[in-house]
Amino acid sequence: MNRAAVICGLGGALPETLVSNADLARELDTSDEWIRSRTGIENRRVIAPGQATSDLAVAAGSRALASAGAAADDVDLVVLATSTPDHPCPATAPAVAQRLGMPGAAAFDVAAVCTGFVYALAAAAAMLTAGTVRQALVIGADTFSTILDPADRTTRAVFGDGAGAVVLRPGDPAEPGALLGFDLGSDGAGSDLITVRAGGSRQRSAGGDAPAEDHWFAMQGRAVFAEAVLSMSKSAQHLIDRIGWAGRGPDRVVAHQANLRILRAVGEQLGLSEEQITVHLDQVGNTVAASIPLALADAQNKGTLTPGQRVLLTGFGGGLTWGSTALIWPSLHLAPAPAHI
Ligand code: ACO
């Protein structure tokens, strides 16, 4: 029998602390008008001192397990997409698995920045369909507030913290929720466009001579903008052609939430109306690896994602990396509102 990885649970988590555009404008040379008109973002949330990525990941993961009705010991794989792990070493996923009550589970991190969740889904789906694991928890979680230069008005306006998660179980490729295929890619020639220069083996964090600013996240926004539109549209179209959706196309696209203008341009490239493009960034900003699952949970709770819809997920991020997958939206237990930690 052909096996597929099927999404059967969904959940999200956000930090309590909300930072509005007006809050940023009190601190930096920016305005609500600039941020809204250039990005579509109104609010973002940031973790409190002492909190870390794993705290959000555990909260989102436990929401997804509850939505799936899955017992922790039914799940034997945790894949965590993050570029802001709790520590450079070891990976954060084993600690998340342990805190969720699954200490023997296979657990590893995936670092593909904003494409991380799609890459993590692909890795977990492959292990599940090969029969290596029984059920998988796939989490996207990031806390970019911990790596942003406090004086950088562009990145401070754009990024927010959060986590989103899904549970995958084995099933039939024809059933709703089955992941129908993946398109994944990268272009390392653009690795300097989205980067934290120091803290790795090339510019070490301790005993090295890296300038302080090299420890902050840096992004060449304008160059990345064009790449984001091109990569997500091309990747989505490749997948649409490959899985035989070219005739009718997707009903909804849930794309990485980087910028409202990027979402609209991707929709235009794919010949979709504005109503078919999911927008969640107005409330949370760009939450990096959490962005797609958080947008899914929000759309599921608002009722804009309904069972039977043809849904395409597409992401783009640092690396550069991109990736897409698609599914018929399943009937899920309503994901509870995101946990606030
Ligand atoms: N408030 C006021 N002015 C600002 C702000 C701000 N918050 N930020 C930048 N500006 C100014 C700049 O200083 C610049 O001024 P200048 O012309 O006097 O030099 C001007 O606005 C234009 O700057 P740009 O960077 O060209 O602004 P742009 O319209 O491109 O918007 C943004 C910046 C929002 C970052 C946009 O480029 C973008 O969304 N890029 C894509 C991001 C993306 O998709 N990233 C990929 C995923 S992220 C990841 O993988 C981690």
Mean pLDDT of 241-260: 96
Specify whether the CB–CB gap between 246 and 240 falls below 8 A: yes
Mean pLDDT of all residues in 244-256: 95
Contact 114, 262 (CB under 8 A): no
For residue 140, what are its two tokens?
Answer: 């996207």
Tens-place pLDDT, residues 35-67: 999 999 999 999 999 999 999 999 999 999 999
Q: What's the pTM value of the predicted model, to 2 decimals? A: 0.97
Mind listing the domains of the chain with CATH numbers? 1-341 (3.40.47.10)
User: What average pLDDT does this structure show over 79-106?
Assistant: 97
Helix (H, G, I), strand (E, B) or coil at 19: strand
Whether 89 sits among the annotated catalytic residues: the reply is no
* Residue 203 CB less than 6 A away from ligand 1: no
Query: Does pLDDT of 1 surpass 60?
Result: no
Q: Which residue has the least CA distance to atom 1 on ligand 1?
A: 30
Instruction: State the amino acid at position 81 in one-letter form.
Output: A
pLDDT tops 90 at residue 243? yes
- Name the catalytic one among 8, 259, 280, 286: 286
| Residue 311: alpha-carbon gap to chain centroid | 16
Residue nearest to atom 11 of ligand 1 (CA): 154
Q: How far apart are alpha carbons 176 and 191 in whole angstroms?
A: 37
Please provide the average confidence, as pLDDT, over all residues in the chain.
Answer: 96
What stretch of H or E contains 322? Answer: strand 321-328
% of the chain surpassing 90 pLDDT: 92
Q: Which residues contact 128 (CB under 8 A, 6 or more apart)?
A: 3, 5, 77, 134, 135, 136, 168, 169, 170
pLDDT score at 206:
72
Give me the DSSP letters along 162-225: EEEEEEEEEE-TTSTTB---EEEEE-GGGTTSEEE-SSSSSS-SSS----GGGGSEEE-HHHHH
